[in-house]
Structure 1
Amino acid sequence: MDHAARLAAARAHFAARLAFETDVSDVHAALESGEPGFVLLDTRNREAWDQGHVRGAIHLPKPDMPARIPAEFGAGTRFVVYCWGPGCNGATRAGLIISELGYEVQEMIGGFEYWAREGMPVDAVGADGAEVDATYPVDPLTAPRPVAGARVACDC
């Protein structure tokens, strides 16, 4: 492959990734805006959801998607999906299901693991069934260190 062809292939590759992937920082910023333009779906099982999930997400495991999505969401709804983390392809599988149903979808890379490790808001289900704050402290290996308690973004 010549130089021009390699550059064209690289542009196509990275443009496609950006079209179908987003990251936890961008999802958090969109949710904080109050009008994210998408529905955030946690695709994991009930036990994982109960242990902790992104605040503002909807729990919708993959097996339920073919019946629930068309019944609960109108045409034109955009989705962002996540699963456990980078070592899990559950969100990728969910993205395939959702796109086959005719909806736009992006995968939140890093999944719940990086959401939690970057100190984003996490809820869990308490013993009484109520949502409880389960936010983790920022992991300095995955996110910039806050300065004087302020949230710092990597500004990617």
Structure 2
Amino acid sequence: MSAVNAVPAACPDEARRHFAARLAFETDASDVAADPAAGTPGIVVVDTRSAESWDQGHVDGAIHLPTAEIAARAPALVPEGATVVVYCWGPGCNGAQKAALEFAKLGLPVKEMIGGFEYWAREGYPVATASGAVTRRSPDPLTAPVTGISCAC
């Protein structure tokens, strides 16, 4: 008996709906990095973590908006028509989902950056700190190609 097929795969129509829905709710670090590099407007990246976490390191170009402050501050920070991309620490944290829910309650289009700040940094994208320094670490070969910053997905 196959462990993979112990529960049969969904039919293609169900799989199409499921994966299309996931892509409507999620994006990844590679796609988030690609838009500013291409000059694509209309994306606002939001770090939802604490001030201490933000100061330690955050996505270069993101805005800091902790989840508890979204309802009060988001209308002044997010331009009309923009898609919000939220992130928190990483895959073991559901802070991004909580923040995404708050943006959705405000009627704003929102996606979660899967992998969070952990995968942003591990894939070698620019990390800014409270001092204003911007650094890049070498990509972790378990998360991104070491010869380039793109998985070509």
Q: Same fold (TM over 0.5)?
A: yes
Report what 1:139 is aligned to: 140
TM-score, normalised to structure 1, is: 0.86
Report what 2:123 is aligned to: 118
Q: What are the equivalent positions in structure 2 for 1:10-89 lying under 5 Å apart?
A: 10-89=15-94
Whether the 8 Å CA contact 2:27–2:114 is kept in 1: the answer is yes
TM-score, normalised to structure 2, is: 0.88
Could you say what secondary structure the match of 1:138 adopts?
A: coil
Gaps (5+ residues) in structure 2?
1-7
Query: CA offsets per residue over residues 56-114 of structure 1, 9 Å max, x none?
Result: 10000000000011233344231011111111111111111101110000111111100
Gaps (5+ residues) in structure 1?
none
Whether the 8 Å CA contact 1:79–1:105 is kept in 2: the answer is yes
Could you say what secondary structure the match of 1:49 adopts?
A: helix
Whether the 8 Å CA contact 2:29–2:114 is kept in 1: the answer is yes
73-82 or 12-21, which deviates more? 73-82
Report what 2:3 is aligned to: none
Q: Which of 89, 100, 106 matches 1:101?
A: 106
Report what 1:153 is aligned to: 150
Deviation at 1:35? 2.5
Could you say what secondary structure the match of 2:53 adopts?
A: helix
Distance in structure 2 (CA, Å) of the matches to 1:114 and 1:152: 12
Aligned-residue RMSD, C-alpha = 1.6
